[in-house]
Amino acid sequence: MCGRYAASRRPEDLTGLFGVEKWEPAETLEPDWNVAPTKEVYAVLDRPVKDAEDRRPVRQLRALKWGLVPSWSKSPEGGARMINARAETVHEKPSFRRPFVSRRCILPADGYYEWVTGADERQLEEKGRRKRPRKQPYFVTPADGSVFAMAGLYEFWRDRTLPDDHPQAWWVTCSVITTEAETSPLAVAPAEGPASLSDIHPRMPLMLTPDRWDAWLDPSRTDVDELKALLEPPPGGLMRAYPVATAVSNVRNNGPELLEELAAPEVGTLF
């Protein structure tokens, strides 16, 4: 799954990287090394500019709220649970099938965090001596330092309690598409720890390689089978994973120090 990630790239970098034609400086977000659900995040999307005479799709960098609220939802309360959409079923789930066809985006990240329960902690849990075992966080990122372009969906939701001209009358929310975690060896693996991403967690965000960015963002592509083909996982061996401090487990902690690699896990024996 993807429940936390890091996104520290500046909008100036993202506009050049993704060929963005439009972004509003008023939507500038601060670098975030501990992105959690319901936070605002950057999304790259192709869409006509509102109120423009030219209705061609324009590549935009937008700030959206993480946690998709379906357009038909009566309230936004379930958005925090809609942070992920499974690649295998995204085309058929009521909450995701419409945006899958017409509202796709890329969520740029440095990488994502995943937690592993240590062997010692599991033994304490099994013996009833610890109800909530401590978990060791790992950071997963492209080994070459490139952007982790997560496949995403976005949706519009109208707050009917507010008038049309209210700045918060419309919510724009998003979700990260996930797929089965890679079983192939990591490009760079810890000396003691997971050898593959599947050793950490059975799911992972779906990373889109640059050759798929344009096709994924193109709103004129609406054939479900063609779109499903774009959800094939990238080639294996592109990622590295390493242990980071348990400080990242607290959403109030933020800063580049959260990405610092530990010489050894903080939470005992893991594998």
How far is 2 from 212, CA to CA, in rounded Å?
A: 21
Q: Among candidates 82, 106, 69, which has minimal Cα distance to 210? A: 106
Label residue 68 exposed, middle or buried (CB < 10 Å: 0-12, 13-18, 19+).
Answer: buried
Give the Cβ contact number of residue 187 at 10 Å.
Answer: 14
Q: Who's near 178: CB < 8 A, 6+ residues apart?
A: 1, 2, 84, 85, 86, 87, 203, 204, 205, 206
H helices, E strands: number in the chain: 5, 13
Helices in the chain by DSSP H: which ranges?
Answer: 11-18, 97-102, 119-126, 213-217, 224-229
List residues bridging with 153 in a β-sheet. Answer: 104, 175
Q: Does the annotation count 2 as an active-site position? A: yes
Catalytic residue among 24, 27, 88, 114: 114
- Residue holding tokens 């034609």? 21
Q: Does the annotation count 114 as an active-site position? A: yes
Detail the DSSP E strand segments found in 122-192. 135-142, 148-158, 170-180
What are the angstrom distances between the C-alpha of 267 and each of 52, 99, 205?
55, 40, 24
**Which residues are designated catalytic?**
2, 114
